[in-house]
Structures are given as C-alpha cells and as structure tokens.
Amino acid sequence: MTAATSVAARGAVPAAPARAARRASKRVLPGFGLTLGYTLFYLSIIVLIPLSALLFKTATLSWEQFWTAISAPRVVASYRLTFGASFLAALVNLFFGLLIAWVLVRYRFPGKKIVDALVDLPFALPTAVAGISLTALLAGNGWVGSILEPLGIQLAFKPAGIVVALIFIGLPFVVRTVQPVLEDAEKELEEAATCLGATRWQTFRLVILPSIMPALLTGFAMAFARAVGEYGSVIFIAGNMPMVSEITPLIIIGKLEQYDYAGATAVAVVMLVISFVLLFIINALQAWQRRRAGAPA
Amino acid sequence: MRHLQQSLGNITMTSLKLKTLLASLALAASGMAAAQNSLLNVSYDVAREFYKDYNTAFTAHYKKTTGKDVKIDQSHAGSSAQARAVNDGLDADVVTMNTTTDVQFLADNGVVAKDWAKKFPHDASPTTSTMLFLVRNGNPKNIKDWDDLIKPGVQVIVVNPKTGGNGRYAYLAAWGAVREKGGTDAQAAEFVGKLYKNVPVLAKGGRDATATFLQRNQGDVLITFESEVVSVEREFGKGKVDAVYPSVSVTAENPVAVVERTVAKKGTGDLAKAYLDYLYSDEAQEIAAKHAIRPRSEAVLKKHADQFKPIKQFTVAKYFGSLTEAQKVHFNDGGQFDKLYTPGAK
Amino acid sequence: MSATTATRTIRRAQAGTTEAPWVRWTLIGIALAFMLLFLVLPLAAVFAEALRKGFGAYLEGLREPDAWAAIRLTLITAAIAVPLNLVFGVAAAWCIAKYEFKGKAFLTTLVDLPFSVSPVVAGLIYVLVFGAQGWIGPWLAAHDIKIVFAVPGIVLATVFVTFPFIARELIPLMQAQGNDEEQAAIVLGATGWQTFWHVTLPNIKWGLLYGVILCNARAMGEFGAVSVVSGHIRGQTNTIPLHVEILYNEYQSVAAFAAASLLALLALVTLVIKTIAEHRNEQALKAAAELPPERPAPAGV
C-alpha cells in the first residue's frame, strides 16, 4: 500500500500498467480494502444471510402459490397503501425537515436548544407507545381529534392517520442528515452569490440547495425506508380494514397467525424487493447529482 | 479489525469487553435459575393475573404434597405467536392457550403429543369462556341480541379474526347464532356479511378492541370474551359499560398441554402433569372464577351464578367440526372472511 | 462593549447572507408549530397517561421486579448493539464516502435495507436461521445453545434494526467534507490511522455522536423485531418496550405508560448530555475564534 501511495504522491504513473494506475488513483487514501472487507463481512453476517433465509423459505412455494399469495387483491391494496403513505410522509418530512434543520442551524431563537433535542424524540419512544399516544391524540376524543373531527377531518382509523404516524417517525431522519451538512456549508459561496446580485431566494435555490441535495435525498430515502417497514406505531391508528386501511406488515402477521410461514415470507420478499429498487433509485440519483455538482471522489 | 478498534480508542474496547462480560454474567445467572426445579408455562395474553394467583396456590400445594420447591416462569403473548415460538424452540414445559388450533399446530409438528386432548379431562380444557356484548352504560341503542348488531347505524367493534383468537370466536359466535336458530349456512354467511359491514375498525387484539371502544369512544357495542369484563372494570371503573348476554353464544375452550419435546429433555414430565392436573382442582377452579374465567366444575359455576349468567352455548365442534377446520374454511387466505371484503362476493 | 460592537459588525457583514427578519420569524414559527404538533403533543400524551392516576400510581408501576429486569435487559442489549454498529458504521462510511468504486450505490442501498424491513420480518429471519426448525437450529439444540428466545437473539435482532444508523449519519457528512484534508495529511506523511484519528474523526465528531445517540435510542425502543425473538419470559427476556406492551394488554395502562415514560426520559437525558457537550464545544470554538478568523465564525448566528 505504501508503494501505491508514494507513486500517487509523486504523481508519476506513465509507465505503470493500466490496472496499477487505476488502483493507485483509488488508494490515495489507505484503508479501502480493510474497510470494504469488513463492511461486506458484517453486512453479510447480520443482514444478507438472514435475509436470504426469507428467499429460501419462499422458494418452498410453487410459482403458482407464490403468485397467488402476493397478488391477492387485499395484498395488492396493502402495497398501495404502505408504499403510498410512506412516500407521502417522507415527502412531507423532506419539506418540513429541511425547514427545521435550516431554522436550527441558521437562526437564533429562545428555546432553540430544547427544540434541537426534541427532534430525536421519535426514536426514543418505542414504536408501540408512539402509536398508542398518537391514536389517543387523533381519535375523536383526543386533544387534536376533538378539534378536527367537528370540521369533518377524521384522522384516526383512516389512511390519513397512517400518514400522520409515518410523518412522526420519519421526521428526525431528514433533519439530522441535513443539519451537519448545513452547518458545514461555506458561507463564502453565499456571500459571493449575493455580491454577484442574486436575491436571497435565488441564492438558496441555486447555491445552497444543490449542495445539500445529496443529504436531503439521503434523509428522504431513510425516512421512506423506515416508513415502509413501520408496524408498531401504525397498527393502532390504522383501521385495519381490508382493502382500505390495511398495511402490508399486518398482512404478513396475518399469514403468520395462520402458520403460513412461506406465504408470509413471500409477501415479505416482495416488500423487500420493491423497497430495494426504490432505495436504489434514490441512491443512484443522489450519486449522479453529486457527480454533477462536481464533488470530489 | 483490531487496528480499527485501536483507532477508536481503548475506551470503546474496554467498555465493549465490560459489557460483554456483564451480558454473559446475566446469561449465566438466568441459566443457573433454570437448573433448579423449574417450569416454564407459555400462555396467552390476558392470563397473567390468573396464573399469578394460580402459581402461588400450586407452589404451596406442591410443597405440601411432595415437600419440593418449584419455580414457575411465565411467558405471555398472543396465543398464536406463542405457539409459533414454542414450535421454533421456546423451551416451554407446558402450554396453556386460549384456542385449540394453537395446540393442534404444536401437535401436528410433534411438539406436544398427538392425543393431547385426551390427556386431561374435558378435552384438556380446564376452563372456558364465551363471547358477549359490551355496550355503553344504559344501553342507549338497546342492543339485546345478535340481530340488533346488523341494524343500520349500529357500529360494532370486534377483533380482526386474522390476527386474534378473540376475533375468530366472535365471528364463529355470530355464524353459529344463526345456525342455532335453525338457519342455514348461506343465511349465516349473509348475516355475518351484514355484521362486518357495521364494523368500522378491526382491532389488533382484545386489549386494542377494548381501548378503541372505551378510550377512543368508537362504536356502540364491543364483542369480546366474558373474561375481559373484569379487567375492563378494573381499568376503566365500574359503570362505564353494561354487559349484555346474547341469547346464544359459543364456548371458547382454553386448552392445556404438556410439551413433550421439552419435558423429555429436562425430565420435568411429572411436574408438568401435576401442574396441569391441579388446574382441575376446586382451588384452581375458584381462582378461575375470581378472574371471570368459566370453570368446568359445575359446583363452582353454581356458586358464582351471579357472575356467570347462564347462557345457551354451542361448541365449535357442533357447526364447524373443529377450530382447525373453521380456520381452514373461514379464516385462512381466500376463506369466507376474505370473501366478505372482496368486492362483488357478498 | 467591544463584544457587542463585534457582534454588530459580524451581523452587518452577514446581512447579505441572511433573510429578512419577517421571513426568518415566519419560518421559525412554522417549524415550531410543526414540531409542537408532531413531536411535543405525543410526548405530552405519554406523560399525561402515565400520571393519570397520580404520581403514586406512577411510581408503583415502576417498582415491579419485572420492570427492573426489563430495564436491565434493555441496557445490556443497547450496550452490545451500539458499539458493534459503531465500528461497522465508521468502516462503511469511510469506505463509501472516501472512494469511488463500481457498485457503490448498490452497497449503499444494501446498508439502507434493514430500515425498510418490517420489524416483524426482521425478527422472523433470525427465527428462520436459528429457530428449532431453522437452518442451524437442530445443531444449537443438540449443544444446548440458546440464541432465539434468549438474550443473544434479542441482541441480534436489535443489531439488525439499528444497523444503518451510524453509517447513514456519517456518509453524507463525510461526502460533504470531501477528501482534501485527508489527502493533505497523507501527503504530509501521516499513516492511514493517524489520518483517521487526527483529521477525520474530529471533523465527523458531531455526526458520529448524533449517530450513536440515534442508534442507542432505537436500540432501546425497538419493539417489533424483539417481540418475535424474545420468548416473552417474564423477568428474563422482556425488554422495556415488550414490558410496556404486556402491561398495556393487561389493562394496566398507567404502568405501561410509566415504563414508556422511562424510555422517553432516558432519551431526554441523553439529549441533554449531548446539548451540554455541544455547548462546551461551541465555547471552545468561540475562544479559538478570538484569533483573527479566516472566515466569520459560524457560531455567531
């Protein structure tokens, strides 16, 4: 490794074979092999191998059984609900999370430290407790529900309530991912933009936003991913009516209750694949955006 | 790997070692406790209070008759979840469930004996319960019997049959009620369909249903186990709800069984049998009555007649063969219950 | 007097890069309203329920030996899961943020995956591997090693669900900071470990702390996955969240919310500690900023 480092430092790679040159440009910073190796090892042991158990269990079904299990109307309705509500909630969190991170980093106001600390709250409450207290709040006789329901807005036991619960649990992701990046942002760029005549909004849109976009997308992806899998906080506020307000994790539980392990894993595999694809798209988008913004490797 | 840990500081390393040591100590301690004469009773959710009292009575009785001390560990969760856990390796010595399907599942997988139902009296069910209605104080909607539940404007709270035994029994009680009155299966299906149209929320479990009914103030009537009423009154205070006994309801058996797989390994076969046998004793049946669980003993039942109002009951076997069959026909995916919600299939 | 003048000078200099006051206060207002609605109210609801029958009942709910066993188990689990994920998080962040390689987006997505796995499934997969009917279940049973339905299973499930936290906190931060400083250090002759310890670590300090706190909070609050692998043996394999569920299901909601409020309090305490540490750090930065700054101190806003 030292040889490659000194080669890179001297900047002399003309005669070296192409492979060594490529390796040299990767390894200016040492530790690639070690960190990648450990990452893959840990990932496999904790995540990949157990997750493959899902696939193996599902494989015990015939294609027909598999298809029936995952394409039943109730199940499909639940996909729509789960992924739709999660996406919506993550979107809301994207907007408000950015707002809150901005306010926390850029402004001073009384009680800022408390607000800052409170953002992590959704992580601290066990999901089931969050679910129970949200339901208590939003039901007809709760603090919020008693105001909204006379206006005709029913949140508890309806899909809207699910979105509210998912907003709650996803909020910290965007805030905490954007906050450190915002703090690190260089003010000179903004000052330069102002000097060059940009309005504040233009500066925000064209200078600041692109630089925090990767963090924003990461936060969005995390909030979305978390919302998709969420069970404890949603199950109390959802009406669980089949075809209307039934989330996919509940269908999985239902199958387990019937001792249909393979059916449960089949639906779980579908969820996994869809989540993986969506996350992959978001991450690839983020990587592309970073490259476009000219960030160094 | 060691290098990385060094980089992060010896503090992390030491604290990691310390905590692993603590963890293994904790594991050893719990292991040591199990080595004494001990029994793990894997049971269902709301049975904790009952078994707390029963275990005290049993340990005293066991000490008196055999002179030995025994430690009883309890595990409580949803009945099917517990059955799955025992199947997947939870070392229960005995299982005390509230649905026969769960014990049958274990029998099918060789975890309990195939003839478990014959090993103890009354089909191995020392206690039963039944389904009744809870209505708001004063019964404003005047709900007396099953037919009142399908009236327009009546909202019924019930547990999701897909996720809770409570819900399955409610469904079967409704279905069977029609059959008891001389109706056919088709009429029963129609009735049940109308009933579930009046259900705004399918609760996750018994407790969730009660919370929805009493704390969230949803619905006009709650269908739940008779044994829940005592707990409800304790938590929410008397006078909030009235218990309405319909003309007919289903018998929900609470089966018990010895887990052969575990007792063979641990050698606790006699202890397990003694534990379950004592459930049929008068003392145990009294404790059950105290917790609003219907005892099998006629004498004890008569003594508590004011609490356990006589109600015409039918067994699951009468109209459905067995709970396992009912599960297949009604509650499994694609079954009758699913048909209620698929548009077009009324 | 000079401090105020200095602040005023800085403020004037920053006037070009801050919004008009009305914009500022509107944004603050919206942010606070949102947080009040979505965060403060549920928290208040927990304490309101816990104290519904008075403070005495609240304490009674916590005095149970089962409650203490649950607290112990929760702390042990977090104490094992968090350091494990810390080591992984740093390694993965370094690998993903500092290098370009094929399949990086794929790897990042794999790291994110545990987030979107429903907790029930997360527990289920370990049962499928280690359970009596699982892959190595029979071998474990033969050697009387208990993984699922015992503490190791709970730790494993917790590690799984808190897996991505630290890594995903660090990655955008390290990406935003770029490689310049590390490369400078290498050029000046530092080894990899020296670079990491003296250059990278101080820069990612706060992101790392955030990540650890989040990871810890989630580890202590995890319910679904642990519920599947726990066995629910009272006094032995129940964590605080499981204990909360049990109490709730037994119609002891005051005791249930009392235990839940414990978790909320634990979290608030950690956050207070974090805030204090941050405050100290800010003061150190301010002291360092007495020296002629290359750029206006960011701590002045």
Contact A8, A27 (CB under 8 A): yes
Q: Report the share of chain B in percent with pLDDT over 70.
A: 88
Mean pLDDT taken over chain C: 82
Q: What tokens appear for A131 in the block? A: 């679910």
DSSP track, C154-203: HHHHHHHHTTTHHHHHHHHHHHHH-SHHHHHHHHTT--HHHHIIIIIHHH
> What is the average per-residue pLDDT within B272-288?
92
pLDDT confidence band for B36 (50 / 70 / 90):
low
Between chains, do B338 and A74 touch, taking CB under 8 Å as contact? yes
Which range of A275-284, B132-141, C79-88 scores highest in mean pLDDT? It is: C79-88
Q: What interface predicted TM-score (ipTM) does this complex get? A: 0.74
Q: From CA A82, how far away is CA A62, in angstroms rounded?
A: 26
> What is the average per-residue pLDDT within B94-106?
90
Measured in Å, how far apart are chain B's first and last C-alpha atoms?
63
Contact A187, A178 (CB under 8 A): no
Q: Which of A40, A222, B4, A280 is nearest to C215 (CA)?
A: A222
- Give the residue extent of every domain in chain A: 63-294
pLDDT at A157: 78
Q: What's the distance, CA B59 to chain centroid?
A: 23
Contact B254, B122 (CB under 8 A): no
pLDDT confidence band for B30 (50 / 70 / 90):
very low
CATH class of the structural domain A63-294: mainly alpha
Q: From CA C254, how far away is CA C257, in angstroms rounded?
A: 5
Quick check: C232 pLDDT over 90? no
Could you give the residue range(s) of every CATH 1.10.3720.10 domain in chain C? 54-290
Between chains, do B210 and C90 touch, taking CB under 8 Å as contact? no
Mean pLDDT taken over chain B: 83
Q: From CA A238, how far away is CA C85, in angstroms rounded?
A: 33
Residue reference for tokens 């992701």: A173
pLDDT at A88: 94
Cβ neighbours of B342 in A, within 8 Å: 73-74, 243
Quick check: C289 pLDDT over 80? no
pLDDT at A124: 63
pLDDT at A251: 85
Quick check: A7 pLDDT over 70? no
Distances in Å between the Cα of B108 and the Cα atoms of B113, B169, B257, B286, C107 are: 9, 22, 13, 33, 42
- CA-nearest residue to C253 within chain B is B235
**Exposed / middle / buried, residue A119 (Cβ in 10 Å: 0-12, 13-18, 19+):** buried
Q: Which CATH number fits domain C54-290: 3.40.50.11540, 1.10.3720.10, 3.40.190.10, 2.60.40.10?
A: 1.10.3720.10
- For residue C250, give how far its alpha carbon lies from the nearest alpha carbon of chain B (Å): 6
pLDDT at C64: 82
pLDDT at A128: 72
Note whether B80 contacts A: Cβ–Cβ < 8 A: yes
Q: Which of residues 18-37 of C touch A (CB under 8 A)?
A: 18-20, 23-24, 27-28, 30-32, 34-35, 37
Mean pLDDT taken over chain A: 80
> What is the average per-residue pLDDT within C142-153?
87
pLDDT at B17: 54
Cβ neighbours of C146 in B, within 8 Å: 89, 91
- For residue C84, give how far its alpha carbon lies from the nearest alpha carbon of chain B (Å): 9
Q: What's the distance, CA A128 to chain centroid?
A: 20
Between chains, do A177 and C172 touch, taking CB under 8 Å as contact? yes
Residues of C within an 8 Å Cβ radius of B: 72-73, 76, 79-80, 83, 86-87, 90-91, 127, 130-134, 137, 141, 146, 148-152, 155, 193, 196-197, 227-228, 231-236, 246, 248-253
Cβ neighbours of B80 in A, within 8 Å: 256-257, 259
Contact B55, B275 (CB under 8 A): no
DSSP strand pairing (B312-314 vs B221-225):
unpaired
Which chains lie within 8 Å of chain C at 3 or more CB pairs, if any?
A, B
- Model pLDDT for residues B59-92, shown as the tens digit of each residue: 999 999 999 899 999 988 878 888 888 988 888 9
- CA-nearest residue to B5 within chain C is C87
Q: From CA C215, how far away is CA C219, in angstroms rounded?
A: 6
CB half-sphere exposure, A16, CA atoms < 13 A: 16
Q: What tokens appear for B328 in the block? A: 């297949």
pLDDT confidence band for B171 (50 / 70 / 90):
very high
Residue reference for tokens 């309801």: B249
Quick check: B35 pLDDT over 70? no
Backbone angles phi, psi at B96, to 5 degrees: -130, 100
Quick check: C12 pLDDT over 50? yes
Quick check: A243 pLDDT over 80? no
- Model pLDDT for residues B173-219, shown as the tens digit of each residue: 999 999 988 889 899 999 999 999 999 888 877 878 888 888 778 88
